[in-house]
Amino acid sequence: MDLPVFYAPDILPEATAYTMNEDTSKYCIQVLRHEKGDKVLLADGRGHKFTADITDDNRKKCVVRILDRETVPPPARALRVAISFTKNAARIEWFLEKATEIGIQTIIPLVTQRTEKEKIKAERLQNILVSAMLQSQQFYLPDLQEPQAFDKVIKHHHDPQRLIAHCLPEQKQALRDVLQPGKDTLILIGPEGDFTPDEIKGALEEGFVPVSLGNTRLRTETAGMVAVAIIATSF
Amino acid sequence: MDLPVFYAPDILPEATAYTMNEDTSKYCIQVLRHEKGDKVLLADGRGHKFTADITDDNRKKCVVRILDRETVPPPARALRVAISFTKNAARIEWFLEKATEIGIQTIIPLVTQRTEKEKIKAERLQNILVSAMLQSQQFYLPDLQEPQAFDKVIKHHHDPQRLIAHCLPEQKQALRDVLQPGKDTLILIGPEGDFTPDEIKGALEEGFVPVSLGNTRLRTETAGMVAVAIIATSF
């Protein structure tokens, strides 16, 4: 049985003990019913994995003793997804959860001409990323960036592999045929209603490669998830 | 702009007119505000695509006239997923929606030793499949079967490609490396807590090929979606 993982964003690398915050303490002691002496893992979201045991099972201030620390190797390459957030918050939240589980390094909320949602609830979304990271036993928290305008994203990101998934019936290849595994990748996922022809033209001029995610019409969050599933399992 | 698609499960192939049921009429006339003369598409979920126009925009009994009918070619191969349903209904409902959007032919609720949910709300789930089919502009409704016991599934399904995704650290290959595109495929996705070693052994004895869906620990519904995303885009 795997040890449960708890989030310790403010733990110091050389720590010998750590006090969980109130929410985490409650979750650990009251919900999961851990007790003094139980072994747990801590993740700081920056690749450090601490093995610890509970020395004080206080349900508001759970204290653990650090037994071991290791640095989990970072992913060999970065997967960045710039995606137009959906009007329906649940849909993009679902994407964030699933993308984190599968393996993503950076999420950029993309503001396109047809994007209807430009503001994000950063704290709520951050909590979703943390839960998904812990749930999937990972130790690097994805970086959720501030919303960025489409033009800025296509001009200022220089990942070696830059892709745009769009629905226009123009010449494009299947993502899996274009994909070069092992390269840092940025993929753009458009809003409901797709990118505008001008946006697509602009991206192609900047060197983005147009790709298709299959033969069916996907919702934004589904397109994002399919892209992550294909790219993350190709490295 | 694509025409909106409405569900007409009981339309006859040779129909020249059709009256939508009350829910669909309400959605078409009241929610989407279609009017007499508007063009729409109808899907019977069995591959027939009807082009029609509205002759009576009654919000309870919307009547359309059939202008054209075509048969959409069926998928070249079948993708069947036997998946243990999650205790949290919302999670498996997301899976059903996303799998339908991406492209799946059959869903078998799989009853394993560790499955906590053996009953399904067939009507509610059926509605999710229909919505996702229409949303993604497809014309074949996936077949949601009755829950089946694991032993029955591994013995009585003879798709040419049979896979089992499990988490045990035994020898298994990445799904994308094993996958033979173009073959009818059945893949088994286990419950939270995974298949038991006995179940995995039983499946291998029946000729199932063990596969991995990546390096992270995926929830059941995420594993199902990753499998569908990889397989459906490989054909």
- Model confidence pLDDT, tens digit, residues A138-177: 999 999 999 999 999 999 998 999 999 998 887 889 998 9
Give the tens place of pLDDT for each residue, B207-223: 999 999 988 889 999 99
Along chain A (235 residues), what's the average pLDDT of each consecutive run of 10 residues? Answer: 90 95 95 96 97 96 97 93 95 96 97 90 95 95 97 94 90 90 95 94 96 92 96 86
Interface touch A103/B216, C-beta < 8 Å:
yes
B180 — pLDDT class (breaks 50, 70, 90): very high
Residues B180 and B161: beta-carbon distance below 8 Å: yes
Is 70 exceeded by the pLDDT of residue B1? no
Whether residue B18 is predicted with pLDDT greater than 90 in this model: the reply is: yes
Q: How far apart are CA A38 and CA A57, in angstroms?
A: 9
Q: What ipTM was estimated for this complex? A: 0.90
**Which A positions 167-186 lie with beta carbon below 8 A of chain B?**
174-176
The pLDDT value recorded for residue B59 is: 95
* Strand A148-149, strand A106-111: pairing: parallel
User: Are the Cβ atoms of B98 and A225 closer than 8 angstroms?
Assistant: yes
Residue to mutate among B215, B220, B231, with most A CBs inside 10 A, is B215
Across B39-51, b (16+ Cβ under 10 Å) vs e yields ebbbbbbebbbbe
Per-residue pLDDT of B66-92, as tens digits, reads 999 999 999 889 999 999 999 999 999
| Beta-carbon count within 10 A of A115 CB | 23
Q: What residues of A are in contact with residue B95 (Cβ under 8 Å)?
A: none
Using CA atoms in the order B81, B87, B88, B89, what is the torsion angle rounded to 10 degrees?
60
pLDDT at A1: 58
- Give the DSSP H/E element, type plus range, for residue B144: strand B143-144
Domains and CATH numbers, chain A: 5-71 (2.40.240.20), 79-232 (3.40.1280.10)
Segment B19-25 shows an average pLDDT of 95
